[in-house]
Amino acid sequence: MEEEREEPVPATGLPVGIDLGVKTLAVCSNHSESHEHHENPKALYAGARKLTRLQKKLSRQEKGSSRREATRKRMARQHMRISCVRSDAIHKATSSIVAKAKPPETRPTLIGVEDLNVSGMMKNRHLARSIADASMREFRRQLSYKCSWYGIELVVVPRFEATSKPCSRCGCVKQDLMLSDRVFHCEACGHVVDRDENASDNILMLAVSSAERVNGRGGRVRPAVFSGHDPLKRQLKPAG
Ligand SMILES: [Zn+2]
């Protein structure tokens, strides 16, 4: 059944950059000092661990046996449970980010997210990583249709290198940043920030500047201009 939807009123609030992650589901930046963190539900990890145990049990059981069949059914139910927990958490996060119930001036004009390298992700069997991969895909899927429903422009920026390694304050690239480094410490300007928050700031900047380039050609609406402490100035030309 297809739901009838009215043409959305374009949102006019501050743009938001989202870093989708392994540990934290999503970190959002709108260039205020505080970032919004959306955590993965703990039930997701507990559920996934249980699934791994069932998988091991299944592999030990005799093929065609009724015990094996029972385990297979338990696994199917567990898969379903995990997918519900995941989907529910992501619905809460994406709905809160698009701020659907709020007036257009408080909803983000545009949302920037990273491009996902899905083929590379599917190969990874590590538990936390596989949870994150499925969550990122689902997050992107929900965000994409919710943006179109609520008049928000969704901008996809190239992933990892461009978003994790540069300092969001001075732009200096930290070549030796490891995946295990949770805090980004810039030797050039002394900026110390949560790694995911730094990435979300960079995603925001890249998304805004790429939207400006496109909109400059296409004549669409410019994103709102920022106020306050504003590293965006190094990438943004003055409006007008
Ligand atoms: Zn710096």
pLDDT in tens, 104-153: 888 999 999 988 765 555 555 677 777 788 888 899 999 999 999 999 99
Any domain includes 3: no
Any domain includes 6: no
Q: What is the per-residue pLDDT for 221?
A: 44
DSSP the chain: -PPP-PPPPPP-B--EEEEE-SSEEEEEE-SSSS-EEEEPPHHHHHHHHHHHHHHHHHHHSPTT-HHHHHHHHHHHHHHHHHHHHHHHHHHHHHHHHHTTTS-GGGSBSEEEEE---HHHHHT---HHHHHHHHHHHHHHHHHHHHHHHTT-EEEEE--THHHHSB-TTT--B-TT--TT--EEE-TTT--EEEHHHHHHHHHHHHHHHHHHHHHHHHT-PPPPPP-SS-GGGGTPPPP-
Q: What is the per-residue pLDDT for 125?
A: 64
| Distance from the alpha carbon of residue 207 to the mean position of ligand 1, in angstroms | 20
Any domain includes 238: no
| Distance from the alpha carbon of residue 83 to the mean position of ligand 1, in angstroms | 40
| Distance from the alpha carbon of residue 3 to the mean position of ligand 1, in angstroms | 48
User: Ion ligand 1 — residues with CB under 5 Å?
Assistant: 167, 169-170, 172, 186, 188-189, 191
Mind listing the pLDDT tens digit of every residue in the chain (240 residues)?
556 777 888 888 999 999 998 778 999 998 777 899 999 999 998 998 999 999 999 999 999 999 999 999 999 999 999 999 999 999 999 999 998 778 888 899 999 998 876 555 555 567 777 778 888 889 999 999 999 999 999 999 877 567 889 999 999 999 998 888 999 999 999 999 999 999 999 999 999 998 888 776 554 444 443 333 344 444 433 333
Q: What is the per-residue pLDDT for 236?
A: 39
The residues carrying an active-site annotation are 19, 114, 196
Any domain includes 134: yes
Its domain, for residue 103, covers 16-233
Domain count, the chain: 1
| Distance from the alpha carbon of residue 166 to the mean position of ligand 1, in angstroms | 8
Any domain includes 118: yes
Any domain includes 10: no
pTM of the model: 0.80
| Distance from the alpha carbon of residue 184 to the mean position of ligand 1, in angstroms | 9
Any domain includes 9: no
| Distance from the alpha carbon of residue 173 to the mean position of ligand 1, in angstroms | 8
Any domain includes 11: no
